Chain A
């Protein structure tokens, strides 16, 4: 249903000359209830590019090339977004002010007693306050307005305004990523379910290996107080080769499968190798190398990996399970230790390092993004140029506070790793490079966060 522009429900962007008046009026409302937020908004620079979009039935505004709401049916769009919040709840969160329509849609529910509106971008909020009607919700006593902070966690139930996620301020980036991960979770789960039949088949095939292979739990606690390095296949891994050569013998080197070939090519022999992915075509090439030198090195694996990967390994194999329903039955027949993994082998490698008893876990090549214009470290099977400019697509901060291009899934893995690190205060995590993503909770080698 399309409401005409100018109705209370749909709101309307005023003519250009109205902006200062409207902003001032909204400013008074904000200042009265949330003076600190108005102070922050007042000091915020306007967006670099604000373009009215007037060739659609309902005019809208684009901030830095991103439309703040539909140009065809703002209130219908808001209803779709609001539907994420169950109808009978008394308290909910809205991430992003947007055009105000989503907030309005939720406040239209009489059962709602409290609505937390979280500003993700001060610039966008200021632009919107100057362009759209916000009088009603700003004066609604059920509304609590706040600005996203870097330590904020996602609150439930919530609905989100997509352009505000896209245009989130740097300080809201972590929260934004957590929100996006939540929004993508149903899709990710559906995809995993689709792959489950393949995984179940490989799991059944692998019982012949499982019956004879060792248990990752036999490694737990065996390197108490050690320094472990997790080598992942991000581009920055190459920065650490000299350091790794100099340290050899003094630390435990754990390689993810994708980092194996690049390490071997540099003459670096990992102590342990981890593989968890069930995709044969994507994983088997990582083991296409001269592996003879690794005949005494264990491969730690989840038993959903393809049997060909297990057959290719020349040394001992130790099985581990993820906390997943797919392993419920096989666990009874073949009890093995558990490793954390939420989509990436890097998680499992880090959890293995912690399980060993390491007091320090160094992360090398755990970039969760594409520094230096490549996807993976040179020599890794999937290494390819990345042409996406940071800022256009998904991004994360590197260790210098700059934006580097990434992919949505990598960003999700990063946030899950940060949550894991936060749950393990007994271990010191060190991010070896500032080129890759900044990892909250991991300090840098110079001791600085």
Chain B
């Protein structure tokens, strides 16, 4: 599992148990890793699809829809970004 995927799983696990602070921290680190991987060319995936997922993720995060954030991370973003 890549470092990014590990962080995504860590965030999803925290959100599912209601540990919001830990979840948001891991999520921020996951997004940082994602951006770095994209910029350095280590990540190749359909950018438009990724952008759509991230928009949905951030909207869910802002609403406090934590289980949906966890689902997007675990079942959509990890498969997409490897």
Contacts and interface: CB of A to CB of B under 8 A. Distances in A.
A244 interface: no
B65 A408 contact: no
Interface in B1-34: 13-22, 25
A156 to B, nearest CB: 15
Contacts of A83: 17
Contact of B66 (A162, A186, A188): A162
A46 B21 CA distance: 31
Contact of A162 (B15, B22, B25, B62): B15
A288 interface: no
Interface stretch (A68-76, A110-118, A313-321, A362-370): A68-76
A184 B67 contact: no
B63 interface: yes
A160 B18 CA distance: 7
A392 B22 contact: no
A81 B16 contact: yes
B68 A67 contact: yes
Interface residues of B, number: 22
A66 B67 CA distance: 8
Interface string A74-116: 0001001101100000000000000000000000000000000
Nearest to B70: A70
Contact of A187 (B22, B66, B67, B75): B22
A167 to B, nearest CB: 9
B64 interface: yes
Contacts of B17: 80-81, 83-84, 159-160, 162, 183
Given A80-B13, A162-B16, A70 B67 contact: yes
A4 B62 CA distance: 30
B65 to A, nearest CB: 5
B20 A66 contact: no
Most buried by A among B25, B63, B67: B67
Nearest to A60: B67
B19 A183 contact: yes
Contacts of B18: 81, 160-162, 165, 179-180, 183
A166 B71 contact: no
Contact of B63 (A80, A84, A183, A392): A392
B56 to A, nearest CB: 12
Interface residues of A, number: 33
A408 B67 contact: no
A392 B16 CA distance: 19
A270 interface: no
B40 to A, nearest CB: 27
A95 B2 CA distance: 34
Contacts of B20: 180, 183-184, 408
B25 A187 contact: yes
Contact of A66 (B15, B16, B63, B74): B63
A81 B67 CA distance: 11
A411 to B, nearest CB: 11
A52 interface: no
B64 A393 contact: yes
A56 interface: yes
A168 to B, nearest CB: 11
A180 B24 CA distance: 14
A65 interface: yes
A70 B15 contact: no
B65 A184 contact: no
Contacts of B65: 62, 65-67, 163, 166
Given A77-B16, A180-B18, A184-B20, A72 B64 contact: no
Given A163-B66, A166-B66, A188-B21, 11 more contacts: A66-B65, A69-B67, A72-B74, A77-B67, A77-B70, A80-B13, A83-B17, A186-B19, A187-B14, A392-B63, A408-B20
Interface of A: 56, 62, 65-72, 77, 80-81, 83-84, 159-163, 165-166, 179-180, 183-184, 186-188, 392-394, 408
12 contacts: A66-B64, A66-B65, A70-B71, A72-B75, A77-B16, A159-B17, A162-B16, A165-B18, A166-B66, A180-B20, A183-B19, A392-B62
